[in-house]
Amino acid sequence: MEFVFRRSYRGPLKAVILDWAGTTVDFGSFAPTGVFLKVFEKMSVPITIEQARAPMGLMKKDHIAAITAIEEVAAAWQRTHGRPCGQEDIDFMFEQFVPLQMQCLAEYAEPIPGAVEAVTEFHARGLKVGSTTGYTREMMEILVPAAAGRGYQPDAWVCATDVPAGRPYPWMCYINAINLQVFPMEAIVKIGDTLPDIEEGLNAGMWTIGVALSGNQLGLTKEQFDRVPPQELERKRKAIYAQMYQAGAHFVVDGIWECLPTIEEIQARVSRGEKP
CA–CA separation, 111 and 153 (whole Å): 10
CA–CA separation, 90 and 64 (whole Å): 7
Question: Burial level of 160, CB count in 10 A (0-12/13-18/19+)?
Answer: buried
State the pLDDT at residue 275.
94
| Largest pairwise CA distance in the chain | 67
Q: Which domains does the chain have, with CATH numbers?
A: 15-30+108-271 (3.40.50.1000), 31-107 (1.10.150.240)
- The residues with which 189 forms a beta bridge, in sequence order, are 16, 207
Degrees to nearest 5, angle at CA 131 with 140 and 138: 15
State the pLDDT at residue 5.
78
Neighbours of 189 (CB within 10 A): 27
- Tens-level pLDDT at each residue, the chain (276 residues): 577 778 899 999 999 999 999 999 999 999 889 899 999 999 999 999 999 999 888 888 999 999 999 999 999 999 999 999 999 999 999 999 999 999 889 999 999 999 999 999 999 999 999 999 999 999 999 999 999 999 999 999 999 999 999 999 999 999 999 999 999 999 999 999 999 999 999 999 999 999 999 999 999 999 999 999 999 999 999 999 999 999 999 999 999 999 999 999 999 999 999 999
Q: Per 3-state DSSP, what percentage of the chain is helix, strand, and coil (rounded to 5)? A: 55, 10, 35
- The residues with which 129 forms a beta bridge, in sequence order, are 16
The predicted model scores a pTM of 0.90
State the pLDDT at residue 32.
87
φ, ψ of residue 128 to 5 degrees: the values are -85, 155
CA–CA separation, 132 and 62 (whole Å): 16
Order of strands across the sheet with 207-211?
158-159, 128-133, 15-18, 188-192, 207-211, 251-253
Catalytic residues: 19, 60
Buried b (16+ CB within 10 A) or exposed e, 215-235: bbbbbbeeeebeebeeeebee
